A and B are shown apart, each in its own frame.
Chain A
Amino acid sequence: MDIIKSSRDNLPVLQLKGRFDAHEVEPVNAWLAEHTGKGEARIIVNLEGMNFIDSTALSTLVRGLKNCRERNGDLHICSLQQPVRVIFELTRLDKAFDIFPTEEEAAKGF
């Protein structure tokens, strides 16, 4: 999996590409801990280019979401490709996250 760290409108953005499974959660956990442990945590996770996500990876994102909301912030997901969109739907996590078509809209959605 490729991990690209950037920012948009002063919001931290994590872009993940490829297959996101339990082998890959550690760097994502570290990034989430860094950006959800202080202040009003508002972050974007861009999943453009991701074609598979497993339950461990989903749990990592859910934990990140929870940490953000505990600090009155949020974790916005954007740019889901169809396989990952279907996985979010089947696991009903599409109801838990605010999901946006583009990174720009995810940033404006705060």
Chain B
Amino acid sequence: MSSLRPLTISIAAAAMSLSLACGGATPDGGQEAESPYAAHEVAPGEYDDYYGFSSGGHSGEVRIVGIPSMRVLKRIPVWNIDPGSGWGITNESKAMMGGKWVGDTHHVQGSYVDGTYDGKWLFVNDKANNRLARIRIDIFEVDATVEIPHTQGTHGVFPQRAPTTEWVILNSEFRTPLVNDGSGDMLDASTYGGVHTIVDAERMEVVAQVQTEVNLDLAATDYSGRYSFATSYNSEGGATISEMLASDLDYLVVFSWDNIKAALANNDYRTVDGVPILDGTEGTGLTAYIPVPKNPHGVNVSPDGNYAVVSGKVSPTASVIDITMLDDVFAGNIEPRDAVVAEPEIGLGPLHTTFDGRGNAYTSLFIDSQEVKWNIQRAIDLQANPQEGETAVVDRLDIHYQVGHTMASMAETNEADGRYLISLNKISKDRFLNVGPLKPENDQLIDISGESMVLLKDESAYIEPHDIILVRRDIIEPHVVDRVRLEEHPEAVTQSSITRDGNRVTVRLTATAPVFGLQEVEVNEGDEVTFIVTNTDEIPDLAHGFAISNYNIQMVVGPFQTKSVTFTADKPGVYWIYCTNFCHALHLEMRLRFIVRPRS
């Protein structure tokens, strides 16, 4: 460990050294060269080549972005209330939200088969309320969620990549007491720890948690289904920023799935709140702690499955860990640090690394506001045989500004194709019309098909895409449907009716343009009313809205979908229920009376 070069830099001094490259606007009307984007433009009526699946940060949502047009095609509500769909309003969505209406999505990942996406599910974390959600790709809606116990800052999330996604792992960025119920000395941070949570992807249940003494931040899995990774920037166990930056070295923590499975099979765990807790602290054999320079950030695995690249953040380096050497690390044949086969200096504030499938890595440099392209093999060769003045860096591109995540097309699969790179920039500063103190972010599209990177397009983004994956259209498109099965919802309505059980009234209502299945619904003040609404229209792209005037209820039901909502009829009077989602030439007439008779 002591052989490491001192690589820390002064972040504060460099933090705002923005590179202010100018755009190509010619306000004087002068002749302008054709935009490099022209060759990539998606003409009206044409489709994008890639589905981009982006997180939405503390907006709580997931977005579908067409690449290369950068058009936002859909916003999928996950950890937020969305009247545009009824998410957080319907009984079905409430059951999946557990009464928590805020969330913080960071990483959207796809389910895998044999190292590439299978088009079945997306997974997304909630860093704020510590949950995992699963999105069905066929309808692009959340179909399951699970709360992650014993953890805070549920940040890194990654599915098993081979042979198929049976497990999804999540990291806890914030060290906490494992049993966090107010017992013990809560101020004594030395008793805190981080857990590596394993979730069953099919059942969406916690399988087990591996407890460590360090914090566990960003996550990755290997391409063989045998290892998972977590960067740890607080190996100090500090509770203040000074304490967290005290040590020159932190870790990439590697989890051995072989050893975890053996421990589970041998009942070598304790059970807390019904969850098996495995001891993964240093020296237990479940984990390897590979020293890397202080406070690392992302960990990404190269498409050939051979290398895990840790981006340095505080250190201007990337650390290349040879995954094929991990068996020897776990066997004790070599020191953990021996698996670091290269550590090139690449620039200030490296956060995340992505790949083009041609041996090159692209790392986002937050402080330098750059994307840097470097060659992995060249870095390994230069580590073994340093040559004065030689570097693994191939190219640099200024971005605008302060890039966080970066991702190349298909880069988290063994089919990385090196066509496009997305730079998710945290700050747009002067790139767009001024919209006040809270400005959009700037997501930039970059062509990486050639030797040099070429900036193609700026696209504004609402808060806050942390990460994105770019998935080839042909992988996703065959799975996406225009309507669900009508009977998929057990309460699907084909005939409207009103039934009463005591003070509980259930209204089953069809919606077929331009009529709801009933014209009047009468209830008594104080009744608990459930509306179950099924869209029975046969044609695609015809959704019906359902709003109850003055009752704070609104939802949208897609073709053949059923959604329900329950509330107390606490306001006597006549209230119009109407279709909010334009459906027909007589859409405005598609309404019915909700009559609440006053308590006598």
Asked if A and B bind, the verdict is no
Q: Contact residues of A with B, CB < 8 Å?
A: none
Q: Contact residues of B with A, CB < 8 Å?
A: none
